[in-house]
């Protein structure tokens, strides 16, 4: 397009960070809220897993190392499931179609406006046991991983990827990555923490009341 490599890279970085900021401004406090309210037992388990994996990888944190942290990954997915950062979507139907739920079928005509509210799906009690509860280990193991196809925080199944043919969040992989990094870096430094949860115009407002630094 006639611009330099440096300017192109600058614009790509700006677009990535600018678009990410809105979601993280909502989602990072949500992660703190759910993990903080889960209590010190979960905190100790996360700290133990994260630190042991990093140690076994020569003290280095890498993408490969994070893939070896099933509890951490499950906790992040569960936060996305129980409280998607952007819960509402809309679009116009491009063709006539039928939308099916567990017990009904809805006829939609081309051109009609569709509105989607993700928690209807991500907290579906037919799919998820204890759907209204934050269950840290929900997505661990073979059976837990099968549930990922029902996590729609990115405007599509977690098991699928954004393409030019769908409306899935283009930053899906990046958002998952930095959310995992957020949890990992938190428990590299601290054993546990206590919070106070308030409200803001964007969702949760978190006040950290105490932090316990690394003891092992």
* Domains of the chain, earliest start first: 5-86+119-213 (1.10.630.10), 87-117 (no CATH)
Q: How high is the pLDDT of residue 145?
A: 97
Mean residue pLDDT of the chain comes to 93
DSSP assignment letter at 169: -
Q: How high is the pLDDT of residue 21?
A: 78
Quote the CA–CA distance of 201 and 62 in Å, as a whole number. 35
DSSP assignment letter at 208: E
Annotated ligand binding at 9? The verdict is no
Q: CA distances (Å), 90 to each of 13, 109, 112, in order?
A: 27, 15, 11
Residue 86 — φ and ψ, nearest 5°? -125, 85
Percent of the chain surpassing pLDDT 70 = 100
- Residue 155: name the closest of 94, 98, 96, 80 by CA: 80
Say whether pLDDT at 22 is over 80.
Answer: no
Highest mean pLDDT out of 46-60, 86-100, 201-215: 46-60
In this predicted model, what pLDDT tens digit does every residue of 25-57 receive, in sequence order?
Answer: 889 999 999 999 999 999 999 999 999 999 999
Say whether pLDDT at 140 is over 90.
Answer: yes
In this predicted model, what pLDDT tens digit does every residue of 199-208 receive, in sequence order?
Answer: 988 889 999 9
In this predicted model, what pLDDT tens digit does every residue of 1-15 receive, in sequence order?
Answer: 899 999 999 988 888
Q: How high is the pLDDT of residue 201?
A: 84
């Amino acid at each position: 397009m006639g611009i330099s490599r440096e300017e192109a890279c600058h614009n790509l970085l700006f677009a990535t960070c600018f678009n990410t900021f809105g979601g993280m401004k909502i989602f990072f406090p949500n992660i703190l809220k759910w993990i903080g309210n889960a209590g010190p037992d979960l905190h100790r388990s996360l700290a133990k897993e994260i630190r042991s994996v990093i140690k076994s990888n020569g003290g280095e944190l890498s993408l490969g190392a994070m893939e070896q942290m099933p509890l951490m990954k499950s906790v992040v997915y569960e936060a996305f499931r129980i409280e998607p950062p952007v819960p509402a979507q809309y679009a116009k139907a491009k063709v006539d179609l039928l939308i099916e739920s567990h017990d009904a079928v809805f006829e939609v005509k081309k051109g009609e406006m569709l509105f989607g509210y993700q928690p209807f799906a991500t907290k579906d009690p037919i799919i998820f046991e204890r759907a209204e509860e934050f269950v840290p280990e929900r997505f661990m193991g073979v059976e837990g991983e099968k549930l990922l196809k029902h996590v729609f925080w990115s405007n599509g199944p977690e098991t699928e990827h954004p393409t030019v043919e769908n409306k899935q969040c283009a930053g899906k992989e990046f958002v998952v990555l930095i959310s995992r990094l957020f949890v990992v870096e938190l428990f590299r430094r601290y054993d546990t923490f206590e919070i106070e949860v308030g409200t803001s115009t964007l969702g949760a407002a978190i006040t950290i009341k105490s932090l316990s630094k690394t003891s092992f």
